[in-house]
Amino acid sequence: MNENAEQIADTSRVRVIACGAIAREILSICEANGLSHIDLACLPAHWHNYPDRIVPGVQQAIHQARDEGFPRIYIAYADCGTGGMLDKLCKEEGVERIAGPHCYSFFAGNEQFAKWEDDLDAFFLTDFLARQFDVFVIEPLGLKKHPELRDMYFGNYRKLIYLSQSEDQELQQKAREAAQFLGLEYVYRFTGYGDLTGAIVSA
């Protein structure tokens, strides 16, 4: 048996199937907690713009993990706009996922996020979205070519809340610029990794 096969045969091995938008955070959690048994497989982050792709993509990744011999599988996705279909898949496949409707919630802590009643008109950023604001927000919405569309898309928002995982000054500046571009009040909240840490540690 080769070294790779021996690793996969180890019953402690866990394949974590995750959204690419939280890959950096999961790797940091694994490094900080010595989680060498975690094998991370990420699906494209831009699927958040096409949530109908998430469930079939996760299903394929689950089947691939089983074909590769992983005894345990964990889904590092929130519902992410699948309308409950991801939960249905997880039940059918007998796997668990991190709790929460989206990453903003589990980064903030699902219980805490549910109490933020004054934030119903907020547009949220994470470290990933602050870093990739142009690619994941401006370009898909065509706001550079058609800036007049900004108020059509964001007119019902009052503020932009940056939920920070890393307290990175450069990312904070990018988030401020994003708020200014959208014409929204800027709010900064450091969350760290929130519920994601516990989910990955116990996966």
Residue among 125, 119, 123 at smallest CA distance from 164: 125
- The pTM assigned to this predicted structure is 0.90
Tokens of 107: 């980064």
105: how many CB neighbours lie within 10 A of its CB? 23
Q: What residue ranges in the chain does DSSP mark as E strands?
A: 14-19, 38-43, 72-76, 96-97, 122-125, 159-164, 185-190
Percent of the chain exceeding pLDDT 70 equals 95
Q: What is the pLDDT of residue 9?
A: 52
Are the beta carbons of 40 and 203 closer than 8 angstroms? no
Using 50, 70 and 90 to split pLDDT, how confident is the model at 12? confident
Using 50, 70 and 90 to split pLDDT, how confident is the model at 3? low
Using 50, 70 and 90 to split pLDDT, how confident is the model at 48? confident
The answer to whether residue 1 scores a pLDDT higher than 50 is no
- What's 3-97's CATH class? alpha beta
3-state secondary structure (DSSP) of residue 73: strand
The answer to whether residue 24 scores a pLDDT higher than 60 is yes
In sequence order, the 6+-apart residues with CB closer than 8 A to the CB of 170 are none
Cα dihedral: 164, 161, 132, 202 (round 10): 40
Report pLDDT digits (tens) over 69-119.
999 999 999 999 999 999 999 999 999 999 999 999 999 999 999 999 999
CATH 3.40.50 domain extents, the chain:
3-97
